Chains A and B, each alone.
Chain A
Amino acid sequence: MSGAALTLSGIRLSLGGAMLLALPPVSVAPGEIMTVMGPSGCGKSSLLAFLCGTLAPAFRAEGRVLLGGEDVTHLAPQRRRIGILFQDDLLFPHLSVAENLAFGLPPGVRGRAAREARITAALDDAELPCFGSRDPATLSGGQRARVSLMRALLAEPRALLLDEAFARLDAALRERMRRFVFDHAARLSLPVLQVTHDLEDAVSAAGSLMRLPGPGCAATLERGPGS
């Protein structure tokens, strides 16, 4: 499907004149999972918001975000095709499970039958067959997390960001969900960037790891890919 790298060059975020975070140039290859770790308040979530294009205007940001060869730094969020999963699954409470998935499915898939077929396939893939008409509020945490991933993937993203996506799940579920997300991203050869403060997330991802120190210091790339 995709197969383009996510490249970040010279990214610096500041808030009210104070430097929040500065990244060394990094590139996340298709199918690779890069982990960014750091204490809370170090600007991890702001970094992801900057990559999505939803950073609050109070922040000042420098640097470029490239997907393959394309510079997406100044594109509106909806034009970037960068998917994101949050700690909360953020399924829309006014829509059914199927309607949530239809929300992600591009409008190019035309006709109710065609759209329903894609949604049914996605539900099967998430091991949630026949869940389409359910109210998302009646699903378990793990089920909701899987629907949320499917919704993001149906939108055909070119890169996937994870904002402590596994933090809310209980320990037993967490490793299963990691495998589920990482396997899907690998199958679609998406570059994945996750921020977390759980070292297990980084170990399980088995990609490169970047540690963010406190606010104001430059980040260091600790471990190369595959090491």
Chain B
Amino acid sequence: MTLRAVPALTIALLLLPIGAGLLGTLLPAFGLLPAIGGQALSLEPWRSLFEAPGLGTAIRLSVSTGLAATLLSLALVLGFCAAAHDTRSFGRMQAALAPILATPHAALAIGFAFLIAPSGWILRLLSPWATGWDRPPDLVTVQDPLGIALVLGLCLKEVPYLLLMTLAALAQVRAAPALAVARTLGYGPVLAWLKVVAPQLWPQLRLPVYAVLAFSLSVVDVALVLGPSNPPTLAVMVVRWFADRDVALWFPAAAGALLQAGIVAGAIALVFGIERLARPIGRSWIFAGRRGGEGAWLARGASVLLALILAASLLAILALAVWSFSGIWRFPDALPQAWSLATWRAQGQALAAPIAATLGLASASTLLALVLVLLCLEAESRFALPPGRGATLILYLPLLLPQIAFLFGLQVVLVRLRLDGMAVAVVWAHLLFVLPYVYLSLADPWRALDPRMLRAAVALGAGPWRCFLAVKLPLLLRPMLAAAAVGFAVSVSLYLPTLFAGAGRIATLTTEAITLAAGSDRRVLGAYALVQAVLPLLVYGTAIALPAWHHRNRAGMSVR
């Protein structure tokens, strides 16, 4: 095994299961799955898909919630950056983002449900003094038929993600001097940002936005917690059919999974089309030269909205903790009457197995991803193989494809290979999602390494492997651990990949929490979701603390 072959191997590790999985979904969608009696090509799966009750509503829900969550998040992030880029709070934002990004979607969604439910924390804080209610009102807030709770729940996670991507892209375009020029030419801060910085950012923001769009359109775990249930969104409907005892439902489910992929492709094409249309409009807008005003109220408004989103996330996590430690807690009381460890004592034993499974999967997939990514980057620089646009697209492929479109097919293939439910299959499935994030967070720091440092090492007689092990890796300790923390958080949050590749036999904190979310015991659910949220945070904290401690006597290695 030579280093030169690692990039190809890595690409194969990503493409092989995705390709096999897509094929394994495609064939049953046209009637072919001999194991359960699908012997001949037919359009019957599609016929029964389109005859399924509620399908039209499910499609409409998927499209409306997915587009709304993406566009709302994007508008909030761009609006905030445009309006508040020269305020003091802007610089401090990055530190506040990381813990929220590390928190799994499912935990945030469950905590958010605890906040907005009719008997949830927000109404408890407002009752009875403001609302007059002394019992939970008969309102539908969670799982509302329009999917508003789902859209808001998705925004909680997507706003910080897009904001982080924007901040990373901002570091690449020299925004500050360009803004100074625009200001001295008479432009207000908001229009200066929108006309000068935003168009330069967009090329780097495009793929993350598409990934957010694909995720929002096809999300399952958050939709199970916050989305409407009858009919649910298309992705949830399809997963229900796959999970049904009646295997005949797998045929329309496979067709539905392909339809889901088509919807995502169509939505991405739509956004791409909007972008093409907006370009000439934007150019003549810039050409007309309007300067815009101070935008002070806009800056304040955008900052308040963003602070609300971040506060809701933090409150959601807090709500999980409060519920898991609560004893008696009657409705309008803002806090429990009594605190208790009863839930934790009762669940302690049961929690151990999913914690171990979650830790094992996350550690294995992250470690594997880290080694592969480091070797890929090393091969890239040693053999001067610049990663092309194609490689970037392949990396984004698992994030752009709806998971449901290839995970069922992958399960079919795994069953054929007798690998379904095996740890190696689940780790591989996790790797598909962990590796892209590890690569994306490590590639920039790697390329920013001062090449003179390496030339100095070579001049001192160090061979390529010694350079790699004794110079590059130690210098990159901080970003390496940060990338590992990201990978770990991604693995912890995965729901469908664990469910399908694990054949339902591997229970992680995420799969358990989502199963429990269908029930009604908030204390137990709070405990599971809290552990799910805390694990990645602990790893993230370690990833910050460890390099700081290791480099404590090296001023040159401190964060600037």
Q: Which residues of A contact B181 (CB under 8 A)?
A: 84, 86, 90
B185 touches A152 (CB 8 A): yes
Which of A3-11, A18-26, A94-102 lines the interface with chain B?
A94-102
CB distance from A41 to the nearest CB of B (A): 19
Cβ of B262 within 8 Å of any chain A Cβ, yes or no, is no
Complexed CA–CA distance, A93 and B175 (Å): 12
Q: In the complex, which of the residues B178, B183, B288 contacts A78, with contact meaning CB atoms closer than 8 Å?
A: B183
B177 touches A151 (CB 8 A): no
CB distance from B12 to the nearest CB of A (A): 37
- C-beta contact mask, B180-203 vs A, less than 8 Å → 1, else 0? 111111111100100110011000
B183 touches A103 (CB 8 A): no
Cβ of A76 within 8 Å of any chain B Cβ, yes or no, is yes
Complexed CA–CA distance, A157 and B185 (Å): 8
Cβ of B287 within 8 Å of any chain A Cβ, yes or no, is yes
Across the interface, name the chain B residue whose C-beta is closest to A105.
B289
A57 touches B88 (CB 8 A): yes
Q: In the complex, which of the residues A81, A86, A109 contacts B289, with contact meaning CB atoms closer than 8 Å?
A: A109
| Chain A contact residue count (CB 8 A cutoff) | 35
B286 touches A102 (CB 8 A): yes
Q: Which residues of A contact B283 (CB under 8 A)?
A: 95, 99
A107 touches B187 (CB 8 A): no
Across the interface, name the chain B residue whose C-beta is closest to A154.
B185
Q: Which residues of B contact A106 (CB under 8 A)?
A: 186, 289, 291
Complexed CA–CA distance, A187 and B291 (Å): 26
Cβ of B144 within 8 Å of any chain A Cβ, yes or no, is no
Cβ of B290 within 8 Å of any chain A Cβ, yes or no, is yes
Chain A 82-134 residues near chain B, CB threshold 8 A: 82-84, 86, 88, 90, 92-95, 99, 102-107, 109, 112, 115
CB distance from A70 to the nearest CB of B (A): 16
Q: Which residues of A contact B275 (CB under 8 A)?
A: none
Chain B 267-311 residues near chain A, CB threshold 8 A: 283-284, 286-291, 294
A99 touches B186 (CB 8 A): no
Chain A 36-77 residues near chain B, CB threshold 8 A: 49, 52-54, 57, 76-77
CB distance from A112 to the nearest CB of B (A): 7
Q: In the complex, which of the residues B286, B288, B290, B294 contacts A76, with contact meaning CB atoms closer than 8 Å?
A: B294
Across the interface, name the chain B residue whose C-beta is closest to A96.
B283
Complexed CA–CA distance, A43 and B182 (Å): 22
Across the interface, name the chain B residue whose C-beta is closest to A115.
B287
Complexed CA–CA distance, A12 and B177 (Å): 23
B184 touches A54 (CB 8 A): yes
Q: In the complex, which of the residues A52, A79, A94, A112 contacts B180, with contact meaning CB atoms closer than 8 Å?
A: A52
Cβ of A188 within 8 Å of any chain B Cβ, yes or no, is no
Q: Which residues of A contact B184 (CB under 8 A)?
A: 52, 54, 77-78, 80, 82-84, 152, 155, 157
B185 touches A151 (CB 8 A): yes
Complexed CA–CA distance, A93 and B174 (Å): 11
Q: Which residues of A contact B180 (CB under 8 A)?
A: 49, 52, 54, 77, 84
Chain A 127-172 residues near chain B, CB threshold 8 A: 151-152, 155, 157
Q: Which residues of B contact A81 (CB under 8 A)?
A: 186
CB distance from B130 to the nearest CB of A (A): 39
A112 touches B287 (CB 8 A): yes
B288 touches A107 (CB 8 A): yes
Q: A54-B184, A99-B283 known; 14 other A-B pairs, CB under 8 Å?
A: A52-B180, A54-B183, A76-B183, A77-B180, A78-B187, A99-B286, A102-B286, A102-B289, A103-B195, A105-B289, A106-B289, A107-B290, A115-B288, A115-B289
User: Which 9 pairs, one residue from A and one from B, show the smallest C-beta to C-beta distance?
Assistant: A77-B183, A94-B199, A107-B289, A107-B290, A155-B185, A102-B287, A54-B180, A78-B186, A90-B181
CB pairs A–B below 8 angstroms (30 shown): A52-B183, A52-B184, A54-B180, A76-B188, A77-B180, A77-B183, A78-B184, A78-B185, A78-B187, A78-B188, A78-B291, A80-B184, A82-B184, A83-B184, A83-B185, A84-B181, A86-B177, A88-B177, A95-B286, A99-B283, A102-B287, A102-B288, A103-B185, A106-B186, A106-B289, A109-B289, A115-B287, A151-B185, A155-B184, A155-B185
